[in-house]
Amino acid sequence: MFLSICPCIVSPYGNKKKQDYLVAHIPELVDLLDGSEQMKKVFREATARICATESPKLTPAEFFGVLHGNEMLTSRDRTRKTVEAIQQCIANPTVFPTATIASSLTTLQSTGTWPILFFKTLMSIATSGSTDGMTRDAATVTAIKSLLHRATVSPLAVWDHKAAWEGWTRTYALLLPSSLTLALLVPATALADLLGRYPAVRAQLVTLVDAKNLREQPRIKALWPVLAGAEHAMTVDQQVPAAPPAAGKGKVSVA
């Protein structure tokens, strides 16, 4: 019954050809998802046969990476089903533990462009198994925060890409208060946009800056007119540029 529904996981080839065959047919596996429990079960069984054997045809990280390829986004229906496939993987930590997913997403961050589903995946991880739409698991929060930090300091400048920035801000909000300090690593214009979306964050950031005595740091001086609000903008030296930090540089000491 299973193989009649999902014959694509049985490759007639070996080794590298087997991998190529499976990668080429993963879209067919994803297309089986229709929202029904039966097809979700078929998908979970297929991924287990592909990724969770002694000699996996694809590692879980490789499989998860394939789901974020552009070939999975050829139509609105395929994109919707790919999102469902990603959610099914996230909901199956036996095959796809958080550390493995994080490793796959870290690799995707090195491709030189923003995978379209990257931040949607982060949000799905953050809320998986949650009853109130907020993540609670400490290990999951740490993994997502690390990925969000890498996105913040990436040379790709996430705030310059509308869809990616939308995803970044929503993921940031889901992780609060753990993600709070990341707002201090974006340029002033991006920070203003973030505070416009989530006004309550302003007071939290000001409290943090004062508690850590950070006001004299060049980056904080540049951001302070935005942090303090328009009524205080003329009281701060605004000559320090708010250029985004390069990866690993220009960090604010907020630990």
Q: What is the pLDDT of residue 17?
A: 60
Q: Answer whether 30's CB lies under 8 Å from 72's CB.
A: yes
Q: What is the pLDDT of residue 129?
A: 63
Q: What is the pLDDT of residue 41?
A: 94
Question: CA dist 170 to 77, 81, 185, 218, Å?
Answer: 23, 22, 16, 27
Q: What is the pLDDT of residue 245?
A: 46
Instruction: Give the chain's length.
Output: 255
Crossing angle of helices 162-175 and 188-197, in 10° steps, is 60
Q: What is the pLDDT of residue 229?
A: 84
Query: What are the structure tokens assigned to 74, written together?
Result: 């050829």
Q: What is the pLDDT of residue 56?
A: 84
Q: What is the pLDDT of residue 249?
A: 45
- Taking each continuous run of H as one helix and of E as one strand, the counts in the chain are 12, 0
Q: What is the pLDDT of residue 51?
A: 92
Give the three-state DSSP class for 17. Answer: helix
pLDDT in tens, 8-65: 555 444 455 668 888 888 999 999 999 999 999 999 999 998 998 888 889 999 999 9
Low-confidence residues of the chain: pLDDT under 70: 1-18, 129-136, 230-255
Q: Tokens 């290990």 appear where? A: 139
Give the three-state DSSP class for 60. Answer: helix
Q: What is the pLDDT of residue 250?
A: 45
CA 238, distance to chain mean position in Å, is 33
CA distance 182 to 49: 39
CA distance 182 to 162: 18
